[in-house]
Amino acid sequence: MQKSKLTFFTELPADELTALFDDPAVIEHLQNLDASLSLGIIDLSDQRADIVKRLNQANLPVIAWLLLPEEEGYWFNIENYREAAARYVSFKAWTNQHGLDWAGIGLDIEVNINELRGILEEKQAGNFIKTLWQRYLDKNRVKQGQRSYQALVDLIRADGYQVESYHIPLISEERRAKSTVLQRTAGLVDIDTDREILMLYSSFLRPDGASVLWSYAPEADAIGVGNTGGGVDVQGVIDVEPLRWNEFARDLRLCAMHEKPIHIFSLEGCVRQGFLERLETFDWEETTNIPGLVKRVNAFRTGITTLLWILERPWVLLIALASLLGLGYLFKRSKKG
């Protein structure tokens, strides 16, 4: 079992990012690990540019993980494609101004952060159900969103960058069902990029996180592992206990068994827990057991796929209902006769 290629996520504010890299050991560990960094572009400040320059000088590959202001949704979704395109234009100007080098561009496709907060804090549950129904009925928004984001991907490629996308794993069920339900309702966007990373963060899925990772791993170009600590402030998510070392090591070895590159969320969490030092001497050959609940996870995934297939084609339910009613009527008449 060979060592997997490692990339670390970080989306720290500029001051905290500067403080993180003020410790020269952090860059040294990343160099020793031959690792890359996916750096959240949450601002276009001189301070963030200075950090990128330091990483460029250290010959560390840096991927620009594009993000929006929180009031615009933070992560990219089917509604904020105009803001996403504008962000890339501003990012290019900032890159040229500071002479920054990038190993690629990352597009994070997730639910609008403000909607997610509203749901988790139970402030918008009633209104959101009404919104979901309205979105479910509107198929045109999916086509527009997909076209716009694919055009953005094509533009980024034309500028000479590789493009990678970060997706929640349910996008796989959407594809299997040939559905657009999740894209219409949750705002996901199914786009073609050079590399797709499925965010299989087992810390959020305890006690079945390892089984979920194993189930989805074959479908990912690279696997998102985490959370080791840190991240944007979302109630009910940020307060989940970070991965402990034994869980983290297990997830790494499961990814390596699939011969997949690994994206680790987050760098600052690994620094805080002393994981970088331990990774330098990590035994990738040590045996780890295949999770025991994979069949249950696969069955659950099949159920989700089936539900999405039906929701995409509600007329099937109407035909089935009409057939049952018709059979019942015929059966009743035959008994009378």
Residue with tokens 């960058």: 161
pLDDT for 284-320, tens place per residue? 999 899 998 999 999 999 999 999 999 999 866 666 5
For residue 26 the two structure tokens come to 């952090």
% of the chain residues with pLDDT over 70: 89
Q: Taking every pair of C-alpha atoms in the chain, what is the biggest distance, in angstroms?
A: 90
Domain boundary assignment for the chain: 6-291, 293-337
The reported pLDDT for the residue numbered 329 is 47
Give SS3 for 328. helix
% of the chain residues with pLDDT over 90: 80
Q: Which residues contact 174 (CB under 8 A, 6 or more apart)?
A: 180, 181, 182, 183, 188, 190, 308
pLDDT for 78-105, tens place per residue? 999 999 999 999 999 999 999 999 999 9
The reported pLDDT for the residue numbered 115 is 86
80 preceded by a cis bond (ω within 30 of 0) = no
Ranking 149-158, 179-188, 217-226, 315-324 by mean pLDDT, the lowest is 315-324
The reported pLDDT for the residue numbered 107 is 98
Q: What average pLDDT does the segment 4-18 reach?
A: 97
* Distance separating alpha carbons of residues 276 and 63, to the nearest angstrom: 19
Query: Which element (helix H / strand E) includes 166?
Result: strand 163-167
Band of the pLDDT at 2, cuts 50, 70, 90? Answer: confident
Band of the pLDDT at 118, cuts 50, 70, 90? Answer: confident
Q: Is the pLDDT of residue 15 over 50?
A: yes
The reported pLDDT for the residue numbered 221 is 98
Band of the pLDDT at 280, cuts 50, 70, 90? Answer: very high
Residue with tokens 């290629």: 5
Please choose, from the candidates 230, 233, 85, 238, the residue with its C-alpha nearest in 3D space to the C-alpha of residue 150.
85
CATH of domain 6-291: 3.20.20.80
Residue 242: C-alpha distances to residues 34, 85, 103, 253, 322 (Å): 24, 33, 28, 18, 51
Residue 317: C-alpha distances to residues 244, 278, 324, 328, 331 (Å): 46, 54, 10, 16, 21
pLDDT for 144-171, tens place per residue? 999 999 999 999 999 999 999 999 999 9
The residues pairing with 223 across neighbouring beta strands, listed in sequence order, are: 198, 262
The reported pLDDT for the residue numbered 199 is 98
Average pLDDT, the chain: 91
Q: What average pLDDT does the segment 172-196 reach?
A: 96
CA atoms within 13 A on the CB side of 330: 6
Cα distance from N-terminal residue to C-terminal residue, the chain? 72
Please choose, from the candidates 218, 215, 191, the residue with its C-alpha nearest in 3D space to the C-alpha of residue 202.
215
Q: In 249-284, which positions are buried (b, 16+ CB within 10 angstroms) versus exposed (e)? A: bbbbbbbbbeebbbbbbbbbbbbebebbeebeebee
The reported pLDDT for the residue numbered 190 is 96
CA atoms within 13 A on the CB side of 229: 11
Residue 298: C-alpha distances to residues 50, 208, 294 (Å): 46, 12, 6
For residues 251 and 115, the model is more confident at 251
Beta strands in 178-323 (DSSP E): 195-199, 222-226, 262-265
Band of the pLDDT at 238, cuts 50, 70, 90? Answer: low
